[in-house]
Structure 1
Amino acid sequence: MHVSWYFDFISPFAYLQLPKVLALRERVAIAPVPILFAAVLDKVGQIGPAEIPAKRTFMYRHIQWTARREGTPLSFPPKHPFNPLQSLRLAIACGNRWDAIAAIYRHIWRDGKDGDTLESLAGLAEQLGIDDIATATAEPQVKNALRTNTEQALADGVFGVPTLRIGDTMFWGNDATAMAVEYLDDPAMFEAAEYRRVDELPVGVERKR
């Protein structure tokens, strides 16, 4: 069964899920797929959770609470949301290696450093074997890979990050990790009657947009 993990470094929830995904790799191969979350939001017609002031306050508190509860070291970067483009391209330039992805996440979300400029990422890039980050992240194949990843994610039905895709089934968010693990144990779980019923539940009312 093919498993993919769609992520964007802008997401602290992806950082919180990362240790669980790494642990899950012990039982199933997982392909990491960096995508641009902002492009996904634009395509599906949503705004980011950090763009709603009251939701932003709650979300940041919930992230800190979750990290403390799970024992995950976390320190927000100097600003958020930030532009993750260079971080995403760095991951691709590193061949989407899991160690590189984890190092970039630690740089931003554990150590609380900027992840949006070449200058802020240059030292990390050198540690990852990229001596000239400007050249590496500007390569056409790197830029095209990120664009292709994002387009494919949208084609697959991805609407947020992080998302685990197991076969053709999507599991969105850090809090869906246990659900994804249970699905791996029992791929027929959604064939139960009530799951099938809610999959086809009719819409009762639609808001005017």
Structure 2
Amino acid sequence: MAGGLNAKSMATHWYFDFISPFAYLAWPRVRALAARHAIELRPIMFAGLLGHHGHKGPAEIPSKRTFTYRHVLWQAKRRGVPLAFPPTHPFNPLLALRLCLAAGTTPEAITEIFDWIWAQGRAVDSPEAIAPLAAALGVTDPAALSSPAVKETLRANYDAALAAGVFGVPSLVVDGEIFWGEDAMDFAEAFLADRTLLSTKEMQDAATWPVGASRT
């Protein structure tokens, strides 16, 4: 993907998991951005990040779960985006992540998988459930989803996310700066357009404010 929003080249990566409805909502905008700026698309296992950082997922806190689902439904309706929840949530996204990699992590494959889960409300958490989607993406050999190359790439993506300090999905990482969440896209694009955005004293101070209390 050629082109850019800035005269200087920036390394940009988008970390996402199909389990996240916010990643689904963010994807059309990320795809449009990727058409004019080089972005490496990196599927990762969100549960791994939660375990590493000792976080609970939004769906693991009952009141947050209800709010999150309502917020997603409201956002989708406001934007005119189709949204149908899959049969269960959270679900195990491993097969969907592996399918994405086996299909080449192309924008077309990512769109198809997101739409299968979040526009059509279909399951991906068993070989039987994901088989029609895999066939539509040209991945007809079930063994492709467990190939060493696919497993190694998924692990490498996860390791890269940890090395970059990623703590949630979706996250757009631009030259080492993390823009987390679907609602950070304006912030990310502003940084892409003006590389000095985070260089002001106020922005620099945000990284060094003292901690007054902490949990043990």
Same fold (TM over 0.5): yes
Residue type of the alignment partner of 1:82: F
Aligned partner (choices 122, 128, 131) of residue 122 of structure 1: 131
CA RMSD in angstroms, aligned pairs only: 0.9
Aligned partner (choices 150, 155, 158) of residue 150 of structure 1: 158
Aligned residue-pair number = 207
SS in 2 for 1:171: strand
1:1-209 aligned within 5 A: 1-132=10-141, 134-208=142-216
1:78 and 1:16 map into 2 onto residues whose CA distance is 19
1:44 and 1:12 map into 2 onto residues whose CA distance is 21
1:5 and 1:198 map into 2 onto residues whose CA distance is 23
1:197 and 1:130 map into 2 onto residues whose CA distance is 49
SS in 2 for 1:60: helix
Any gaps of 5 or more consecutive residues in structure 1?
Answer: none
SS in 1 for 2:206: helix
SS in 2 for 1:199: coil
- How far did 1:149 drift? 1.0
1:66-124 superposed Cα distances (whole Å, 9 cap, x missing partner): 11112211111010000000000000111111101110000000000002111111111
1:93 and 1:197 map into 2 onto residues whose CA distance is 43
**TM-score, reference length from structure 2:** 0.94
Higher mean C-alpha deviation, range 148-157 or range 170-179: 148-157
2:152 and 2:135 map into 1 onto residues whose CA distance is 23
SS in 1 for 2:172: strand
- How far did 1:60 drift? 0.3
**Identical columns (%):** 50
2:206 and 2:112 map into 1 onto residues whose CA distance is 40
1:158-179 superposed Cα distances (whole Å, 9 cap, x missing partner): 1000000111111000000000
- How far did 1:26 drift? 2.5
2:148 and 2:35 map into 1 onto residues whose CA distance is 33
1:188 and 1:116 map into 2 onto residues whose CA distance is 43
